[in-house]
Structures are given as C-alpha cells and as structure tokens.
Amino acid sequence: MLSCFSHILEKMNKVDTRPLFFGAWDAPFEITEQGIITYYSDKIHHDHEVSWFTQLFKVAVTQWYDQRIEHQQNYRRLHQYLRRRPDNRSIIVQLDMYYMPHMTLFYHKQQLPHYVILQRLPSGALYMNDPDFEWEGEVAEQHVAEAFLKNQYGGGFYIDHAQVQEPDHLDIIHYFNTRFKKDYNELPKSVKQLFHDIIEEREGKSIQLLMPAVKQLGLIVLRKHSYEYAFSYFNTALQLDEAVYEEMLGRVKKLVKGWTSLQYSAIKVSVTGSAQMMELLTQKLDILDELEMSIKKELHELYEQWRITCGQGQLHV
C-alpha cells in the first residue's frame, strides 16, 4: 500500500516520498497457529500507515471500503467511486493477484492480497497501476471482479491530492524515531522460534511444514529494500563519499539475498527432511539478524548526523 501512496504523490505532485518508507523494513507479519509466515491476516491493519501518511504529507485519505458490509456491496461502491472520480483523486483497491492473469508468478498459483491503483478510462476500460511489481495496463472487468469478490480480506482507500505538502524536518524526525526499532529484529527471531518448534516437533509441526511455512517469506523480505530509501534520503542531504554510500547499499542487498537463499534452503530441507540442515538454517538466521543489526546501527548513525546537520541548517538540497 505504501508503494501506491508513494507513486501517486510522486507522479501527481512531484513530492519526495522516501521518508514514507522509514520502518517498512519492520512491517508487521504473523506466524499462524499452523506455522505459516504471512504478511496478511485479520490481525494486520494499515491504520498507522494511513495516519502517518496524512500527517507527513497533509493529504486527505478516505477509506471507502467498508468491512461491515458484503464484498458485493463494496464492489458496487468501487464502481461508483470510479465513475465519479475527479482528476485530483486516486483510488486504491486490494485485489487477490491469484485471479489476475498478468501476475504470472501468482496467477492460479498463490493467494496474494495486494493493493493497486485503479481508474476507469474515457473509453470505459479499467486501467490498473501496480507500483510494487512495476506493471500497468488495461485489465479485463471480469478479472478485476473475480480478484475483488474472491479476495478473503478486502480493502480500499482514495486519496485527494490537490493539496500536498513536503514533510517538514520535525515530522520526519518524529516519524523516524517512532518507527525505528533500534535493538530488535522481529523477523529472524520469530522465524528461528518456528524452526525450533519444527525441529522439536512441537504441536504437530514437522519438517514437511517448511515449504508452506516460508512460501510468503520472499514477499515479506522485499520490504528490506526500504532501507535503501532511508540511506538514499539521508545521503541526498549529507553527500557521503560515494564508495561509503555504495557499501551501505551493498549490505542491504546482501541482507535481501541472504533471506532469499534461506527461503530456498528451507524449501529444499522440507523435501530432504534433514534435521541437520534445519540446524544450519537456524545458524543462517543468526547471521542475518547480526547483519541487519549492523545495517540499523549504520542507518541510525547516519540519521543522527542528518538530524544534527538539519538543525544547523547545513543540508544539501
């Protein structure tokens, strides 16, 4: 959803939205009772993200999707808003990409509740923009209907972006301090606990659970790229040595690749059933945890440098 917010403001208002992604590297996830690591559930909401977005950019966001009514009624509401959309309004809707043919990785393969930007063209066709997966184009009405009506969760907002402001430094400082978890990485610690449960076969969990357990892990780990937005934002102001800056970004890429490798290894272990390999997976998690803590330490030091320089009015623009 943050990518939709960012895309709309950057395209329509030419606003720098990089601060919006501060803390997205620690976005919420859940491990279900069945041991599935998931980024979506009834317990995961976006209220805080919407609230901060409006506070940072002074823009109006309205939740048009009503969780109290049926999907069909919400679908009718969606089309009403699409029909009556003024030029300075963008409509965001959650669709299940399982039903969208252009998403070849997920079409009829994996449930993927996902926010996109939707509009109706003068020709009457529906046009979809998906900033996360860098896809846009016309989409068939029946596919959108199926992806909306069969989505287990559902959600939708619209943004009125006629009046938008760049976030001021005090708001950014407050946002960063609120969102930044300096001393804790929840993902590796929670996944490590899950792996221990599997090794010890607690509550009926077994090695065969690994494949479905880590299926969504690759999508969750993509959020770690948001560190790059933070480093980039502070670097724009501070003008670090290029080699130093590239080294920072290199560690973020190493983190993402490390998680991707762990996911593939876990799938392999679920097939081989090797308990010894399970122990190696937990060791990999410790390494990833340590790497991310070093990234956070470096980022926080950069932030403090930016904050002090900001207060002295010495920033580059």
Per DSSP, the residues of 93-107 read: EEEEGGG-TT-TTTT
Q: What pTM did the predictor assign?
A: 0.92
Q: For residue 85, what are the CA distances in angstroms to 65, 129, 159, 243, 310? A: 15, 16, 11, 47, 39
Q: Which two tokens stand for residue 274?
A: 């090797």
Across-strand partners of 94?
115
Query: Would you state the pLDDT for residue 273?
Result: 82
> Who contacts 58 (Cβ-Cβ below 8 Å, separation ≥6)?
163, 164, 165
- Give the burial class of 303: count Cβ atoms within 10 A of its Cβ; 0-12 exposed, 13-18 middle, 19 or more buried: buried
Tokens 């596919």 correspond to what residue?
A: 143
- 10 Å Cβ neighbour count for 64? 16
DSSP code, position 90: E
Q: Which two tokens stand for residue 2?
A: 């943050």
Query: Would you state the pLDDT for residue 231?
Result: 97
- Give the burial class of 271: count Cβ atoms within 10 A of its Cβ; 0-12 exposed, 13-18 middle, 19 or more buried: exposed
User: Tens-of-pLDDT digits for all 317 residues of the chain?
Assistant: 899 999 999 987 789 999 999 999 999 999 998 999 998 877 878 888 899 999 999 999 999 999 999 999 999 999 999 999 999 999 999 999 999 998 887 778 778 899 999 999 999 999 999 999 999 999 999 999 999 999 989 999 999 998 899 999 999 999 999 999 999 999 999 999 999 999 888 888 889 899 999 999 999 999 999 999 999 999 999 999 999 999 999 999 999 999 999 999 999 999 988 778 888 999 999 999 999 999 999 999 999 999 998 865 555 54
CB 159 within 8 A of CB 85: no
Query: Would you state the pLDDT for residue 22?
Result: 97
Q: Please state whether beta strands 126-130 and 89-96 pair in parallel, antiparallel, or not at all (unpaired).
A: unpaired
Reduced to 3 states (helix: H, G, I; strand: E, B; else coil), residue 1 is: coil
CA dihedral 287, 189, 267, 283 (to 10 degrees): 30
Per DSSP, the residues of 149-211 read: HT-SS--EEEEE-SS--PPPHHHHHHHHHHH--TT--HHHHHHHHHHHHHHTTGGG--GGGHH
Query: Would you state the pLDDT for residue 313?
Result: 56
> Who contacts 67 (Cβ-Cβ below 8 Å, separation ≥6)?
154
Distance CA 250, CA 146 (A): 41
Tokens 């946002």 correspond to what residue?
A: 175
Work out whether the CA dihedral 289, 290, 291, 294 comes out positive or negative: positive
Query: Would you state the pLDDT for residue 317?
Result: 47
Rg of the chain (C-alpha set) = 21
Query: Would you state the pLDDT for residue 122?
Result: 93
Query: Would you state the pLDDT for residue 107?
Result: 76
Query: Would you state the pLDDT for residue 104?
Result: 82
CB 34 within 8 A of CB 147: no
Extended beta strands in the chain, E state: 30-31, 37-38, 60-63, 89-96, 113-120, 126-130, 135-139, 156-160
